[in-house]
Structure 1
Amino acid sequence: MDPNAAPTLIKVLGYNNPAVAATATQGLIKLGRNIVPTLLISLDTGNYGARAWIVKVLAALRDPRGLDLLEHALIADIAPSVRRSAVKGLADLDLDESKALKELARCCNGLLQASKDDEWIVRYAAVYGLERRMTLNALTPSMKNRGRSMLSQLASEQEDVKVVRLRASLALQRLCVG
């Protein structure tokens, strides 16, 4: 696929047509990480649909250059689907464990924050992210303790959504076995 297609594909994300946007998203993902700078400067903050799709692309590309935008989307976006995609991105960013301790801490702090989101789908995604990040050797004992504590809280009756409780319980089981 031609990298020069990126601006057109990004423009298409803003159309009110989910099928076309999904196709454009796949095209952008196929273009790879070279388009991350273009994505970051092309974000249309006034268009929910475009924001949602760009956050999905950044999450799929797993490029650390998207960290600022993913954090911002998690904190500031009103749409639960955008926040959920941002959480997935924070969980899956490719970070060099030995060099990116600060970025890893930022990802984990974002996941901890997402664990308190009002929307259950965001909390569910945060459980996945915490489980994923807590398997990393570079994670500090303090951060691992905070993660386990949050997972325990989400696995308890304090969490009112059963599927989140069950997913948090599964994450704790997997972390204890691993």
Structure 2
Amino acid sequence: MTNVSPLEGAIADLQAAKTTPELIRATKNLCNLRTIEAISTLIEVLGFNNPAVASVATAGLIELGSQAVPSLLVSLDEKNYGSRAWVVRALASIRDPRSLDLLEHALATDIAPSVRRSAARGLAELNLIYPEDSSKLNRCLLALLAAIKDDEWVVRYSAIFGIELHLLKYNSTYKNLCILGLKQLSSNSESIKVIRLRATLALQRLNPS
């Protein structure tokens, strides 16, 4: 009898799975191996168009952390919105600075609001160091500032959160520009009430006096 490694067994179980419960169980088993050798298969799972299974695979990739980033960065499927959303969500949660270019591009250009929202969250929380990474932090802030004009309110909401977080933690030459943008969102020129309230809260936290 041929010896089968735990990884090979887990992948075989995943390939044999037919139902969602079977796919979830097989994906969990693959994640539990906690090995970088499972990364490519977990990324494939993101493209199954099964949110319950993709959620498990994403959690496994996030747990692997920065080890998963190189593969995630080259795995975006332009034709599969669901897969893109999970990849961007994973990168945003891992917070690795190598994701900056991809998150910046996704926020500015992706057609899917959920992808743009995840990208905004990722840019808000990247593990960057001030002042050494000032130029990268400013790139994040400028991308978020552009996103407060997004057509989708959920993206604008995430952008407000990101701007507030950056300005509370770091000095920036763009602070006045950001404050102006937040004031516009807090005014009646913004049609969505929750956005006006969130922008107002951000302004209060940034200027408590």
Query: Normalized against structure 2, the TM-score is what?
Result: 0.82
Structure 2 unaligned blocks of 5 or more: 1-33
- CA distance in 2 between counterparts of 1:72 and 1:109 reads 12
Partner SS state of residue 42, structure 1: coil
Instruction: Report percent identity of matched pairs.
Output: 57
- Does structure 1 residue 147 correspond to structure 2 residue 183? no
Task: Output the amino acid matched with 1:31.
Answer: L
2:69 is matched with: 36
- CA distance in 2 between counterparts of 1:41 and 1:120 reads 29
* CA deviation vs aligned residue, 1:58-91 (integer Å, no higher than 9, x gap): 1001111001110111111111000000000111
Query: Normalized against structure 1, the TM-score is what?
Result: 0.96
Bigger RCO (CA 8 Å, 6+ sep): 1
Deviation at 1:35, TM superposition (A): 1.2
Matches of residues 39-58 of structure 1 in structure 2 within 5 Å? 39-58=72-91
1:157 is matched with: 188
Structure 1 unaligned blocks of 5 or more: none
Deviation at 1:137, TM superposition (A): 3.1
Deviation at 1:138, TM superposition (A): 3.6
RMSD: 1.1
- CA distance in 1 between counterparts of 2:102 and 2:38 reads 22
* CA deviation vs aligned residue, 1:89-125 (integer Å, no higher than 9, x gap): 1111111112111111110111011100000110011
- CA distance in 2 between counterparts of 1:151 and 1:94 reads 24
- CA distance in 1 between counterparts of 2:99 and 2:170 reads 23
- CA distance in 1 between counterparts of 2:144 and 2:55 reads 26
* CA deviation vs aligned residue, 1:132-168 (integer Å, no higher than 9, x gap): 011133422xx11111111111111111000000000
* Structure 1 ranges of 4+ moved more than 3 A: none
2:23 is matched with: none
* CA deviation vs aligned residue, 1:15-71 (integer Å, no higher than 9, x gap): 110000000000000001121111111222221111100000010011110011101
1:87 is matched with: 120
